[in-house]
């Protein structure tokens, strides 16, 4: 399949290109597009044949439901009831990095919801994404635009790397602002539960309803008896080709431990990458060292995380040693992705 690639930065200047991609969606095709979280791979959410193409292009397991993306806060055509709390949450956080789960209407095919009676809905905060949805006239089902299991793409070049030849269009230009996927909030459970942490934090959501809690399955996934409720969260995920090890604990000891590990791996002739922080990046003599950013600026760290993992793959390192981040606010989302990338391979010191 030939993929048309459009590097576009503004809706006004590239309207024709967006109209072309929207036409492809209407015709049952697939389009990778930017959002403020990560790039998405979209198709008409109401067309089961179109949705099947997403699963095929990504190599995604069939039991993993898709999020539908809308360009308006009015979602009554797609869900059975917009509950009072859903209304409040939509008003406060949309457009933005928050997906809500509600009971679906039958217009949403089973292929989109992977057979569940519920559907995740989100209104992204990105002009190109909103224009694409609006012009196609349908909700767009879109998982992250990566081959299943790989780190999500936060940049058009990473979409091209994974999806060139597998989809009809790839559009976009800017790096995604957040860099981690949306928060998923299940509004069908009591209390409402965060199934995946993201840019809209528990603290922010509690301002609307203080009963909102985090799914137990996210807190300690090592425990086999506690399963995460979002089907996608059970898969090994966000993984670079290299083995990832997180070093967690006191900072001075973390630095010492990483330096020791680098020495040991060098003796084994392994190529080592380090995910450091601004104030530690000059301390390591590894094959490749990259800073995730300033540890007091968690937004910056989130923005850099997936791209840093992919850069380590570009350098073909065998092992990635990573500093850990404080598990607060968006730091919970960062550590959630990092732990999954590491397959929970954590050295506590
Ligand atoms: O930020 C995002 O949400 C990005 C951009 C493109 O919008 N999309 C994204 O989609 O991350 P995806 O497919 O990579 O992740 C969707 C997650 C999966 O873990 C899936 O299992 C869960 O959402 N999910 C979707 N529908 C669900 C439902 N009805 N109930 C529970 N979990 C659901
Ligand atoms: Mg994904």
pLDDT at 170: 98
Q: How many angstroms is it from 145 CA to the middle of ligand 1?
A: 12
pLDDT in tens, 213-271: 999 888 655 555 667 777 777 666 778 899 999 999 999 999 999 999 999 999 999 99
User: Which residue stretches of the chain have pLDDT < 50?
Assistant: none
Phi, psi (rounded to 5 degrees) for 44 = -60, 115
- Ligand 1 atom at minimum distance from 119 CA: 29
Ligand nearest to the CA of 41: 1
pLDDT at 308: 97
Q: How many angstroms is it from 314 CA to the middle of ligand 2?
A: 20
Residue nearest to atom 21 of ligand 1 (CA): 232
Q: How many angstroms is it from 147 CA to the middle of ligand 1?
A: 15
Q: Write down the H helix ranges in the chain.
A: 15-26, 48-58, 84-93, 110-113, 127-136, 156-163, 202-206, 216-219, 251-267, 298-314, 330-341
- Please give the Cα distance from 32 to 14 (Å, whole number): 16
Structure tokens at 236: 């090994």
Q: How many angstroms is it from 206 CA to the middle of ligand 2?
A: 25
Residue nearest to atom 33 of ligand 1 (CA): 230
pLDDT at 218: 80
- Ligand 1 atom at minimum distance from 116 CA: 29
pLDDT at 225: 61
Ligand nearest to the CA of 66: 1
Residue nearest to atom 17 of ligand 1 (CA): 232
Look up residue 191 and give its DSSP letter.
Answer: S
pLDDT over 90 percentage in the chain: 91
Residue nearest to atom 20 of ligand 1 (CA): 232
Q: Choose the residue to mutate in 144, 146, 234, 305 for probing ligand 1, maximizing ligand atoms within 8 Å of C-beta.
A: 144
Residue nearest to atom 31 of ligand 1 (CA): 230
pLDDT at 300: 96
The 10 Å CB-count burial string (b at 16+, else e) for 254-278 is bbebbbebbeebeeeeebbbbbbbe
Ligand nearest to the CA of 238: 2
User: CB atoms < 10 A from the CB of 349, how many?
Assistant: 11
- Please give the Cα distance from 9 to 81 (Å, whole number): 36
Q: Which residues line ligand 1 (CB under 6 A)?
A: 35, 37-38, 40, 64-67, 99, 101, 113, 116, 118-120, 122, 124, 142-144, 181-182, 184, 195-196, 230-233
pLDDT at 78: 98
Q: Do you find a cis peptide bond into 191, omega within 30 degrees of 0?
A: yes
Q: How many angstroms is it from 70 CA to the middle of ligand 2?
A: 18
Residue nearest to atom 12 of ligand 1 (CA): 143
Ligand nearest to the CA of 122: 1
| Residues 6 or more apart whose Cβ sits within 8 Å of residue 51 | 43, 44, 45, 66, 109, 111, 112, 141
Asked if residues 340 and 201 have their Cβ atoms less than 8 Å apart, the reply is no
Q: Choose the residue to mutate in 103, 120, 154 for probing ligand 1, maximizing ligand atoms within 8 Å of C-beta.
A: 120
């Amino acid at each position: 399949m030939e993929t048309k690639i459009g590097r576009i930065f503004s809706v006004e200047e590239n309207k024709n290109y967006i109209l072309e991609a929207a036409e492809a969606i209407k015709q049952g095709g697939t389009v990778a597009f930017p959002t403020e979280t990560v790039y998405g791979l979209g198709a008409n959410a109401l067309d089961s044949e179109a949705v099947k193409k997403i699963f095929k292009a990504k190599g995604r397991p069939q039991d993993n439901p898709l999020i539908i993306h809308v360009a308006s806060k009015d979602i009554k055509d797609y869900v059975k009831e917009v509950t009072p709390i859903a209304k409040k949450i939509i008003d406060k956080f949309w457009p933005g990095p928050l997906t809500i789960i509600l009971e679906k209407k039958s217009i949403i095919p089973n292929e989109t919801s992977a057979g569940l009676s519920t559907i995740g809905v989100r209104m992204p905060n990105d002009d190109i994404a909103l224009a694409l949805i609006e012009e196609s006239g349908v909700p767009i089902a879109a998982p992250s635009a990566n081959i299943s299991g790989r780190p999500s793409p936060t940049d058009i070049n990473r979409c091209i790397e994974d999806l060139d030849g597998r989809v009809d269009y790839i559009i976009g230009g800017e790096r995604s602002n957040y860099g981690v996927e949306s928060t998923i909030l299940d509004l069908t459970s009591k209390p409402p539960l965060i199934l995946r942490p993201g840019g809209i934090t528990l603290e922010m959501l509690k301002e609307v309803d203080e009963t909102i809690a985090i799914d137990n399955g996210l807190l300690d996934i090592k425990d086999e008896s506690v399963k995460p409720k979002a089907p996608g969260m059970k898969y090994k995920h966000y993984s670079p080709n290299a083995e990832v090890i997180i070093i967690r604990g006191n900072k001075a000891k973390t630095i010492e431990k990483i330096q020791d590990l680098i020495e040991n791996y060098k003796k084994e002739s392994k190529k080592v990458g380090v995910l450091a922080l601004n104030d530690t990046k000059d301390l390591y003599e590894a094959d490749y060292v990259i800073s995730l950013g300033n540890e007091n600026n968690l937004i910056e760290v989130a923005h850099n995380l997936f791209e840093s993992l992919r850069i380590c793959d570009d350098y073909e390192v065998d092992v990635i040693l990573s500093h850990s981040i404080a598990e607060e606010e968006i730091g919970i989302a960062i550590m959630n992705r990092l732990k999954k990338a590491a397959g929970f391979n954590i050295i506590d010191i």
